[in-house]
Structure 1
Amino acid sequence: MSLTIKFWGVRGSLPSAPTPTEWTYHIEGVLRNFFSLGYRDLSQVSKYIKSIEEPVVGGYGTATTSVELRCGRSQIIIDGGSGIRTLSESIMTGTLGRAKGPFHIFMTHFHWDHVIGLPFFTPHFIPGSEIHYYAVQSDLEQLIRGIFKRPYFPVPFEDLKAKIHFHVLEPRKPVKVDDFTVTPFKLDHPDPCWGYKVEAAGKTYAHCVDTEGTRVTPEELGEDLPLYQNVDVMYFDAQYTLPELAEKANWGHSAAQVGLEIALREGIRRVLFAHHDPGARSEHVMELKRQTGEYYQSLISKASENKENINEIIWDFAHEGLEIVL
């Protein structure tokens, strides 16, 4: 049995898409690249598309945070950003099966970008459907009820057809959901935000957005250090460059370089960076990726010079629709 992770939304703060003018320039660049690489015939378009990274053509996506994890017939969802709407469509068209659930939704916190998609999760409106919400926040039920309330949404919570259950979690205490073991750990965010360590099929995923990474050393992380230990894949907040991180202290978001430092020290095998800024177009994220690559190589070179043993990691910037299987 394997653990499958799919990222239905990877943008932060606000759903955001390029303007028509920006898309025009982007497409023009893609076409120019086609010819500059020596392609001439339309029959070569598919070959060209397959030869480059998906975000180079389609961008990194517009939807905010929502991550699905599957193991066998078990499924959990982390956060209800606008990406959960697309997940909902897949569920309703039968692509994923089990239209009535039960569905298990773990909430990190309740900023707009993490809840905006919840009213568009169709199983809420299906008689006999069953939805379980989980969060450390003690007012979980009140917060979810408040989303389904006029004037924010026309259908009140009391009119939802699904059976909805609420589970308040204890910090750093694991909970079992089918084939998953899920443990909440505190992140560095202005409003309380809880990351999740998810274990299934002998693999471990660490969900670490939104976090500023103000605590980095083992001593600083203290009882939250296990979130980063014995992890196969870490999903880490990288909304800013290092200079931007200094300018936006206490905004609750981090830079890829911070995540790399933690990953290398703790021996994390793979890192995906996300929570892309709403103003960040494809070229901006690719520039972040270039800067991250330079920083990563400097860390590797420094370790080599000092004759230190270091486990190299696989890292990238996540895009909407990305699916990985462990």
Structure 2
Amino acid sequence: MSLQIKFWGVRGSLPSAPPPIDWTYHIEGVLRNFFSSGYRDPSQISKYIQGIEVPLLGGYGAATTCVEINSPKSQLIVDGGSGIRNLSERIMTGTTGRAKGPFHIFMTHFHWDHVIGLPFFTPHFIPGCEVHYYAVQPELESLIRGIFKQPYFPVPFEALKAKIVFHVLEPRKPYKIDDLTITPYKLDHPDPCWGLKVESGGKAYAHCVDTEGTRVTREELGEDLPLYQDIDLMYFDAQYTLPELAEKANWGHSAAQVGLDIAIREGIKKVIFAHHDPGARIEQVLELKRQTREYYESRSRAHKNDILWDFAHEGLEITI
């Protein structure tokens, strides 16, 4: 058995893409590299492109946080950032076999970048569909209802055709959704934000966005430590460099080095970093990646731990 995870939105704070002039320079660089890589004939273009990592060619994406987790029997969506619109379109093609649901959406918190896509999740408007919302926040229902309300959105909640069900979860208490077990743990964020441990068939995914990572030792993490233990894949907030993290204390976002320290200590097998700053261009995320690699190499030599890690791009799919 396995878990399949797809990242539909990996941007933080605000949907954001490079402006046209930036793409112009980027495409020029890609074209120049075609020739410097030894290619000459147009028939070689496909081979050249297939050898380039997706972010180096198409960037990291513009959509905000939305993660899809599939087990053999169920599907869970974490957060409704702008990335959920593309997921919705995929669902409505019928290729997933789940056009009528039920759909399960866990909300970590309710900042704009995590809810902006919810009104564009088409199953809300289809008779016979079921949409289940989960959160630790007791205001879950009122907060979701408030999104479907003028002047923010023209269709009121009462006009939705689907059956909408709300589930307020207890902190740190496991909850079953078919063959999935989900357990919310508190993250380090100015407004209450809850990460999620998702388990099925002996595999475990830890969703740790948005978090500043101010608690790092086992003692500091206390009852939230299990979020980072026995994990196959951790999704961790890495919006800032280490110097930026110091400058932006209490903003609720972290740096890759913080996540690596936790992963090395707890033996996490793979880490994917995300919540890219809305102002971060391709080159800036690549620089974060370079700094992370430098840090990882110095730490792994000391601890002899082999951890796979990378920075997420929109559309990335991982099976654990």
- Aligned to 1:249, the other structure's residue is in SS state coil
Offset at residue 250 of structure 1 (A): 0.2
CA offsets per residue over residues 146-183 of structure 1, 9 Å max, x none? 00000000000000000000000000000000110000
- Aligned to 1:89, the other structure's residue is in SS state helix
Hey, what does 2:96 align to over in structure 1?
A: 96
Offset at residue 73 of structure 1 (A): 3.4
- Aligned to 1:205, the other structure's residue is in SS state strand
Give structure 1 stretches of 5+ with no counterpart.
Answer: 304-309
Hey, what does 1:203 align to over in structure 2?
A: 203
Residue 52 of structure 2 is aligned to residue 58 of structure 1: no
- Aligned to 1:188, the other structure's residue is in SS state coil
Residue range with higher mean Cα deviation, 35-44 or 154-163: 35-44
* 1:125-136 equivalence runs, <5 A: 125-136=125-136
Name the aligned partner's letter for residue 88 of structure 1.
S
TM-score, normalised relative to structure 2: 0.99
Percent identical: 80
Residue range with higher mean Cα deviation, 77-86 or 49-58: 49-58
Name the aligned partner's letter for residue 114 of structure 1.
H
Name the aligned partner's letter for residue 310 of structure 2.
D
Offset at residue 72 of structure 1 (A): 1.3
| Counterpart-to-counterpart distance in 1, 2:313 and 2:218 | 30
Residue 317 of structure 2 is aligned to residue 323 of structure 1: yes
Residue 27 of structure 2 is aligned to residue 27 of structure 1: yes
- Aligned to 2:314, the other structure's residue is in SS state coil
Name the aligned partner's letter for residue 313 of structure 1.
I
| Counterpart-to-counterpart distance in 1, 2:154 and 2:223 | 42
Give structure 2 stretches of 5+ with no counterpart.
Answer: none
Hey, what does 1:307 align to over in structure 2?
A: none
Hey, what does 1:14 align to over in structure 2?
A: 14
Offset at residue 100 of structure 1 (A): 1.2
| Counterpart-to-counterpart distance in 2, 1:217 and 1:53 | 35
| Counterpart-to-counterpart distance in 2, 1:311 and 1:256 | 16
| Counterpart-to-counterpart distance in 2, 1:27 and 1:17 | 15
Offset at residue 97 of structure 1 (A): 2.0
TM-score, normalised relative to structure 1: 0.97
Name the aligned partner's letter for residue 60 of structure 1.
Y
Q: Number of paired residues?
A: 320
Residue 76 of structure 2 is aligned to residue 82 of structure 1: no
Name the aligned partner's letter for residue 163 of structure 2.
K
Residue range with higher mean Cα deviation, 310-319 or 80-89: 310-319
- Aligned to 2:245, the other structure's residue is in SS state helix
Name the aligned partner's letter for residue 47 of structure 2.
K
| Counterpart-to-counterpart distance in 1, 2:47 and 2:95 | 27
| Counterpart-to-counterpart distance in 1, 2:94 and 2:53 | 29
